[in-house]
Amino acid sequence: MSETLKDKVILVTGAGRGVGRDISILAASEGARVVVNDLGVQLDGEGSDDTPAMEVVNTIKGAGGDAVANYDSVADWDAAHNMVRQAVDTFGRLDGVVNNAGILRDVIFHKMTEADWDSVINVHLKGTFNVSRAAAALFRKQESGSMVHMTSTSGLIGAIGQANYAAAKLGIAALSRSIAIEMGRYNVRSNAIAPFAFSRMTDSIPTDTEAGQARMERIKKMGAEKVAPLVVALLSDKASNVSGQIFSARANELFLFNQPRPVRAVHRNDGWTPKTVLEQALPAMSGNFTPLERSPEVFCWDPI
């Protein structure tokens, strides 16, 4: 049996269901001891339930692995530090973090409330910062560690009704890049993954139109377990040369995303005025404008 993560200790947030659950179980099967973090909240972040995390722990232990449950909130600074502390207290070390916890408050932008915005940003973006920052001090001291953060094509490409989620997820991609640049000197790696997977997060996609129904049928073909191998690989020491990248996993397809770089330049020796920008610069650049596409329009073929 492969032991890609033998003797590693991995913390996975939002690990009670869906993608996080499959990552935890595969990591354990590859030799890792796992801290299974999950509040057991509803999709919108309300409520709590210890059952999902404990079920994953029991599944891992039933297969001969080792795991412990954690019920702290990623959105809380002290709680995030407690997750790291629990890993060290329980297993003696921490080698990897998977920032997977998330909620949804989907609503069209002009109807979005401050609470809709704050709740999603707090869990996704602030939560990723909190857990990463808590682990960073330990990783810096031991001069090793790997972080994998869940971004989304909702932010990388675009979506409707998810301005809060998209902003958080694109922020996570930038945060991952910053961590990779700043922590590289300590042999700490950071990468982001935009997962395609059928879960309760995607189950909220409207299906009241023919296009929505077709999209849902396509998504149902993409199991959450298909994301886990890429995550486990990135946590492995054998991926020590991979950092600061953005990947995606879609059924049996893996993608590497490009990252923003200049694609067109224009200049005038005498400088620009609003008039010359409108008459010369914008027309010259227009052929390189990024279309207002959404994720389903870019990934428009059936998953393989």
Residues noted as catalytic:
165
Q: How far apart are CA 5 and CA 113, in angstroms?
A: 43
Instruction: Report the amino acid identity of residue 181.
Output: I
Q: How far apart are CA 23 and CA 146, in angstroms?
A: 15
Q: Which residue has the tokens 């027309």?
A: 283
Q: Which of 191, 201, 188 is nearest to 42 (CA)?
A: 201
